[in-house]
Structure 1
């Protein structure tokens, strides 16, 4: 399927032909793919393994809630869905499994072979198959993935096996596209300091979220009324899947510590957006506090979230083993301070404690309560941190992504010029 006008294809006839392989259309990636497709000398084609995110699906992470994204996932770039051998509307090492990538990379219907293959993730049959196919055809491979060294516990046996795996994988990859500092550390640990790496930061559509957040201010009073919130009281926001590793229970325990006296509810509200396996137990724990200041709002689609960002005074992501946490990027675009654990992958790149928000040790409820108390001590503190957050996220954008990708393509294909680099991993 082709979603670019014919004149765009003609203009790119002499451009670098870039194939991108990813499991399925992803709401965070679609605007980046549109941005890359606008580059006059990069001819991008995206190959998907499954279309389940376009059709709508049940997300077990959201407690089996039906999900159909309300943002365009396929507009503005060329794409194809590869024929499937296995597709059960989930993503794992063994699904989806597709065929046909070798023939597509070679070129068909008069097309020239692709000049480079970019793969998202390495721990799947599809990804490995594509990398092996590209190597057989002499096509350079760029790899982007989310892992970092602290994202989960591993036994010494598993670590040894990973070293052997990456020693072999490195022979099929020509360049790595790190998403941030912790991910860059991961690749240096397994592939060595001298392996080619080009920072392609994990970013969101900053312009979209800044615009939607500004628009949300006009409906703030309506949302406060819908949730029965006193506009003079601050709001602590959690917005993510209600599953064990997101540790929303830690936030609830920290919130109880904000009570000025036994039986007295805290001054700020706690608003919880999301759904998942832990919702029932969290609602039960909230009822047990006796507080009337906790709100559960259920799953909200991506376009709705800026209204909640605008509503809050501070955002909290208390996760364990969080590879990045793109919702942190989104909230920072709304000029709001953020509080995250030291196991949220984005914290090294997007947060300086006391400036854009706070970082606390994962699982340390007392430290979380203290961080919230510091930020909410006066409205001025939260507002100033929010302004710093917006300033910082403006330089972590799709433009940096394009620059990193262009430099990677310049190195492995030698068909386009290198771009000036204004940052380093």
Structure 2
């Protein structure tokens, strides 16, 4: 048996189903260590400004432990930072393990864990999200980052890239190819596909409840309404094609909440933009129904290390438009095949991409089918295969 410890700041809704899969791997004994469990309870999201609870189980199906901390527990509206929470006691627990898998290198507690693991003879796996697009740096900062990775690499036996841009980021910072094992950023495809299939039976009821006419295409934005997500760029682009007969008089739905909500609603009202509506915060179950309802999903963010909402929408078989600052775009969005990519901030280009996708219903439907085919090959199955390869390399033992 390979005794595997996994360290992460807090329970994460996207990771929970993957951790259940890892816990079920023959030949692996998994224990998850959380620095905090704040996300498993109702908590206040500082961007949304309201209490959030997840309607999916975060702690079921695997062994876990919440670490003690030198700092006070995270309170409502607080999120983990480099120094908080500052965990204690993990080092002594690591004597019972063969491998430590760490998610995220930008945490003081995680640096301490790396040192403790190597002092006790453990192998170390590292997974994190950044890429050169999401973390642009000057020449001096690039040099400093490369030196940081040179030091970090002395403690890490295998790195687990989440996608093409993340892999390139490691290579640019001096990580050798032999230490890279792909563990793609995926969601629970089975869950989202099942939810979309269930929603399909009620699609027309949902359309009617929202007052949307049949036959008109629906564009969906699902994210926090904050500057970094650029919802106003999408609204500006949509306003240019909203009354365009070639675009078939589409609808635009904003599923989310945040500080820009009032500005979006005011602009819709002042400019009398037809078909645009803000729905507010949506649970995962509600989002699954909206993914099924829409024809085209758009993520116009200035910066996303990945953007897992793209995976979610593709599981519903929907076409995708995203900016060139989205980490997942390099792997999941194929221009002309399942959607389009445009230069961030170029509202004219975004409007043109919207018009291109919406103008031909047969092409739009084909793009949706292509999305589903692409995401079927980007799943937890690939994650488990990559993790198995990494474990076999660092331990010399292949999980049974």
Q: What's 1:12 paired with?
A: none
Unaligned runs of 5+ in 1: 1-14, 107-112, 419-425
Residue 351 of structure 1, CA deviation: 1.5
Q: What's 2:147 paired with?
A: 164
Q: Deviations over 1:356-397 (max 9, x none)?
A: 111111111111111111111121111100000000100100
Contact 1:188–1:195 (8 Å) recurs in 2: no
Between 1:238-247 and 1:79-88, the stretch displaced more is 79-88
Q: What's 1:25 paired with?
A: 11
Measured at CA, do residues 198 and 301 of structure 1 come closer, stay the same or move farther in structure 2, by a change above 3 Å?
Answer: same
Q: CA RMSD in A?
A: 1.6
Q: What's 1:101 paired with?
A: 90
Contact 1:353–1:359 (8 Å) recurs in 2: yes
Q: Deviations over 1:78-123 (max 9, x none)?
A: 11001122232412111221101101101xxxxxx21100000000
Q: What's 1:267 paired with?
A: 249
Measured at CA, do residues 290 and 161 of structure 1 come closer, stay the same or move farther in structure 2, by a change above 3 Å?
Answer: same
Return the TM-score normalized by structure 1.
0.90
Contact 1:256–1:266 (8 Å) recurs in 2: no
Residue 260 of structure 1, CA deviation: 4.2
- The residue matched to 1:148 in structure 2 has which SS? coil
- 2:80 pairs with 74, 78, 91, which one? 91
Residue 235 of structure 1, CA deviation: 0.6
* Alignment partners' CA distance in 2, 1:82 and 1:152: 30
Q: What's 1:239 paired with?
A: 222
- 1:68 pairs with 29, 45, 53, which one? 53
Matched, 1:407 2:393: no
Residues 207-286 of structure 1 aligned to structure 2 (within 5 Å): 207-260=190-243, 267-286=249-268
* Alignment partners' CA distance in 2, 1:59 and 1:266: 37
- The residue matched to 1:296 in structure 2 has which SS? strand
Between 1:303-312 and 1:179-188, the stretch displaced more is 303-312
Residues 20-419 of structure 1 aligned to structure 2 (within 5 Å): 20-62=6-48, 64-86=49-71, 87-88=73-74, 89-106=78-95, 113-260=96-243, 267-416=249-398
Residue 152 of structure 1, CA deviation: 3.2
- The residue matched to 2:359 in structure 1 has which SS? coil
Contact 1:320–1:362 (8 Å) recurs in 2: yes
User: Structure 1 residue runs of 4+, over 4 Å off?
Assistant: none
Return the TM-score normalized by structure 2.
0.96
